[in-house]
A and B are shown apart, each in its own frame.
Chain A
Amino acid sequence: MAIKVAEEWLSACSGCEIAILNMGEALLDLLEQLEFVHMPVLIDHKYLGQLGQSDTIDIPEADIGIVSGAVANEEHLEVLKKMRKSCRLLIALGTCATHGGIPALLNSWTMKEALETIFSTPTTEIPASIPDKGVPPLLDRIYAVDEKVKVDILMPGCPPNPQHIAELFATLLEGDQPTLPEKSVCDTCPTLRKGKGGVKKIKRFLENAACDPKEPLDKMQCLLEQGFMCMGPVTAAGCAAEGAPRCISARVPCRGCFGPVRPHGNQMLDMINALTSNGIDWKTIVDRRSLLRFSGAHGLLRPIGHK
């Protein structure tokens, strides 16, 4: 009998769903054993019945539930709770679901401040009121999924790695417990480390990395050693395809999109520690709060009284 899967997206961009599709032919093979019973991006199952006749949201029972996105409004919360109730095993897929992701950058402001800015841009009609009819009210801030319901498996990534999603499905179909990588991006990075260098300050990525693009990555000096901010030391591994972290393979520094190495780590504090122990002045970082660019939920980013 096929294993039933339900999938939902909350405050999300659909990148996680595209990552699921990017399994490509592996997905076609899996489809013989999986039955998707609910997945708004691909399947026409409706919350309120197929004729919209019901008053309450219904999500069919499933063996595996997948939720992407952060929790930003009342509807997300309701859908998430239904998913938890309907699914035997719940997977938080992608960094928004596991750590707040990019949407949680909003946690540096109050919702009121955010709405005032969004509905007063130069092209917005004046006077504009903030929408409140037939749209779900916003929560007080952006939450990761595990702040609101119990989650069985956290699978971060922005986007998550399609190969890992395929392996996870294969493991679950076998009835085994999946294991996720516990290494850092640096642990999986082939670039050349020459040891402690003369870098004292962090520079912005305003010029390309020093390297010969014709040479493989193991001939390029570590980007942090070149003085660029690279979040590799404090970011969970997992993005790598073909042997190198993806951003590094484009000769671009890591920004931390798989979240902290330890599930409840703090990428900002860990990075400041990593820099300090290498003799680099962390105060030279412009916009230090961006060290929590992907992990600002769980109360890590808070409003700071911007004007």
Chain B
Amino acid sequence: MDKVINIQPVTRIEGHASIAIHLDDNGNVHETRLHIMSLRGFEKFIEGRPAEEVPRIVNRICGICPWMHHLAACKAVDACFGITPPPAGHRLRELCQVMAHISDKILHFFFLAAPDFVMGPDGHYSVRNIMGIVKKAPELASKVVKMRQLGQNMLERFAGKAIHPIAGVTGGFAKPMLEGERKELTNGARQLLDFALYGLDYAKKNIFSQYEELIEELGAIETGFLGTVDTQDSLRLYDGKLKLMKPDGTYTKFSSENYTDFIEEHVAPWSYAKMPYAKVWGEGFSLDLDGPKGIYRTNTLARINVADKMATPHAQAALEEFRDKFGRPAQSTLLYHWARLIELVYACERTVEILEDDQITDPEVRVASEPRAGRGIGCVEAPRGTLIHDYTTDENGCITSANMIVGTTHNIAPMNLSVGMAARSLIKKGRINEGLLNRIEMAVRAYDP
């Protein structure tokens, strides 16, 4: 008889998912599924909307990373209308994007993932959460809450809204930055950078060094990777070329406009989310645990794997240390957390760097546009992975069709593999307990879905 263990819902993640673990007669794992339970319909209901309105609609795809959708949409609409924002327009967008990455990473690592490590994977579920951390490590918790709040407030004061932003507009940005705003933001960004360095150090000392074996083994799989780099092959979040790496480290680079030549999306009857895979490898798609096909990963670990280097000094030092320890490409799933903290350092350094450039206060922030028929592809690196918005407009500049490949979806197939590997190694003869099931969820949380 097929026995099923359900983990429902998967908790401390951003969306709606459940895990079903099917056991065979001997109580060993026969099959696992990560079901993605929600379907929202954005590709349908932006049809007919004036394209310049779309950046204010698609931000609602995700309340944690609304800036990513907002800006990918801005870029796609610019391309539909055939316009190029002035340099300061782009810089203001990038500034907001990297600042949003800061809040996102603090949230994910310290609020969602850290309880598994600080309280331990076997900690009781009622305290294995941020409230537990508040009690057990009040100083850390207070710092984390304050810094996340600082990041959100900086965005909100400058750009009006931090959640579901409106300041990115077709052709650039809705308002220029004033000198006073620049000073205030720079002060905040320096505090955030100090915290990022502290956070990485804290995690290395108190978390990663305590769980070396778990980090190496839990949900470990071997896949390719996808991320964005600049012409120097440094990691970038706002703009660049896509770099798709095979498990053996060989790679191809391509412009996001050509994404359909490289990526296809598999549909499984048990998940509302589609599963992108590397069509260009010509091996098809398979979730077979012993011989997966076409699978690549995105998000922090993927980005630092495909990049030759980091463009800022502290982040570069952190990457070198990481690479000395784990090689390239690093494959262990829980290393996503470490990579996340390296990227946090980069996002803070990049924020300071953008603010220190005088171009940021240039009053020319937007070019006016005329609606027209066209097609545009906008791409940015969202915290959860490469984000692609692809729109077509009619002669009134209204959307006729849309395709979106959202950061998290790249990792749906790999998450299924990681859950499968974790379950297979942990569950023997049908024996389970809470800590064990939580470890399986930890393999999902690493991807920050």
The chain A residues found within 8 Å of chain B, CB to CB, are 9, 11-19, 21-22, 24-25, 27-28, 31, 36, 40-48, 50-52, 72-73, 75, 101-103, 105-106, 108-109, 113-115, 117-119, 121-125, 128-129, 131-136, 138, 158-159, 204-209, 213-214, 241-242, 246-252, 255, 257, 286-287, 289-290, 293, 306
Contacts and interface: CB of A to CB of B under 8 A. Distances in A.
17 contacts: A31-B131, A40-B11, A43-B126, A47-B8, A50-B434, A52-B7, A109-B44, A122-B403, A124-B265, A125-B267, A207-B366, A208-B365, A246-B161, A247-B166, A248-B160, A252-B167, A255-B166
A95 B271 CA distance: 27
A18 B64 contact: yes
Contact of B160 (A14, A158, A246, A306): A246
B62 A13 contact: yes
Contacts of A115: 39
Contacts of B126: 43, 45
Nearest to B53: A290
Interface in B130-169: 130-131, 134, 141-142, 145-146, 148-149, 152, 156-157, 159-164, 166-167, 169
A50 B122 CA distance: 12
Interface string B419-442: 000000000000011100110010
Interface of B: 5-9, 11-16, 18, 20, 33, 35-41, 43-45, 47-50, 52-53, 56-57, 60-64, 66, 107, 111-112, 125-126, 128-131, 134, 141-142, 145-146, 148-149, 152, 156-157, 159-164, 166-167, 169-171, 174-176, 178, 259-260, 263-272, 274, 276, 285, 363, 365-366, 368-371, 390, 396-398, 401-403, 405, 432-434, 437-438, 441
Given A15-B63, A41-B112, 5 more contacts: A15-B64, A118-B39, A118-B43, A158-B164, A290-B50
Nearest to B268: A131
Which has the most chain A C-beta neighbours within 10 Å: B56, B166, B175, B396? B166
A25 B260 CA distance: 46
Contact of A40 (B9, B66, B171, B434): B9
Contacts of B112: 41-42
3 tightest Cβ-Cβ pairs between the two chains A and B: A15-B63, A250-B160, A24-B149
A46 B169 contact: no
A25 B434 CA distance: 32
Contacts of A159: 63, 163-164
A13 B39 CA distance: 11
B228 to A, nearest CB: 18
Given A103-B40, A105-B45, A123-B260, A45 B125 contact: yes
Contacts of B130: 42
A44 B178 CA distance: 44
